[in-house]
Amino acid sequence: MSDSERQTHFGYRQVKVEDKAKLVGGVFSSVAGKYDLMNDLMSMGVHRLWKRHFIHTADLRPGQRVLDLAGGTGDIAALAARKVGAEGRVVLSDINREMLVRGRDRMYDEGLWPQVQTARINAEALPFPDNSFDCITIAFGLRNVTFKERALAEMHRVLDLGGQALILEFSKVRNEPLSRLYDTYSFQVLPRLGKLIAGDADSYQYLAESIRKHPDQQTLATMMEAAGFGRVSVRNLSAGIVAVHRGWKV
């Protein structure tokens, strides 16, 4: 069966494979202007702690080469750039133009240009030679990729030998009472908050649904191993609301 005949999920909806990227693009074009504000409101600022921990665990060193996929407004890229220093290189990438423009402007505002370069990239087809980066990061973006297996394989390909890939993503909550509370918050509060602040309830309904459709901790770890990564590890944060997956090119 060709890709054009296949279907995939867009939240809880089934859509044609070739339509998903456009639909996801529409979501992020809609929310780009309020994206950072909404992240702060939705997580009560905790997303900043998750991201700092994420970059801390990467143990980046001066001079290293980092590719940040689905980097959006650039918070991960900015943190990474300060770790690798002026002699390092960070590529902030995203498939969505509106998000990437905001990320590029942020790099200018924070004095990180041209150390951080920007590129509009589809994570399923990376335009880099083999062995180009020491570290690849993707935070809260993998669940929006249509073919996650392709993206993981591409990440493995462009990593240098001994390099690492780190994925920060919403995952499976491990505490049942917390899981029920989290579901109520996700489906009752977030869309209303999205409508009030960003004027868009539907996009935040999709974001809540996309979290539930994303592979759980063990499934994603298995997918990373199938893509060729070794020494794959998983660390839950906030009882599994999010998880950090880490794999190495060995």
Q: Contact 240/172 with Cβ under 8 angstroms?
A: yes
Q: What does the alpha-carbon distance between residue 26 and residue 24 come to, in Å, rounded to a whole number? A: 5
**pLDDT classification of 67: cutoffs 50, 70, 90:** very high
Question: Taking phi first (over 0 means left), then psi (-120 to 50 degrees means alpha), and beta for anything else, what does residue 13 get?
Answer: beta
How far out from the chain centre does Cα 116 lie?
18
The DSSP element (H or E) to which 135 belongs, if any, is: strand 133-139
**Domains, the chain, ordered by start:** 31-174+206-248 (3.40.50.150)
pLDDT in tens, 75-86: 999 999 999 999
Mean pLDDT of the chain: 94
Backbone angles phi, psi at 70, to 5 degrees: 50, 40
Q: Using CA atoms, how far apart are residues 119 and 197, in angstroms rounded to an integer?
A: 29
pLDDT at residue 1 tops 50: no
* Dihedral sign from CA coordinates of 181, 187, 192, 198: positive
Q: pLDDT (tens digit, 9 = 90+) per residue, 204-214?
A: 899 899 999 99
Half-sphere exposure of residue 1, counting CA atoms within 13 Å on the CB side? Answer: 7
Return d(Cα 41, Cα 7) in angstroms, integer.
Answer: 33
Lowest mean per-residue pLDDT among 32-41, 55-64, 152-161: 32-41
pLDDT digits (tens, 9 = 90+) for 189-208: 999 998 988 888 998 899 89
Tokens (6 digits) for 67: 């590719």
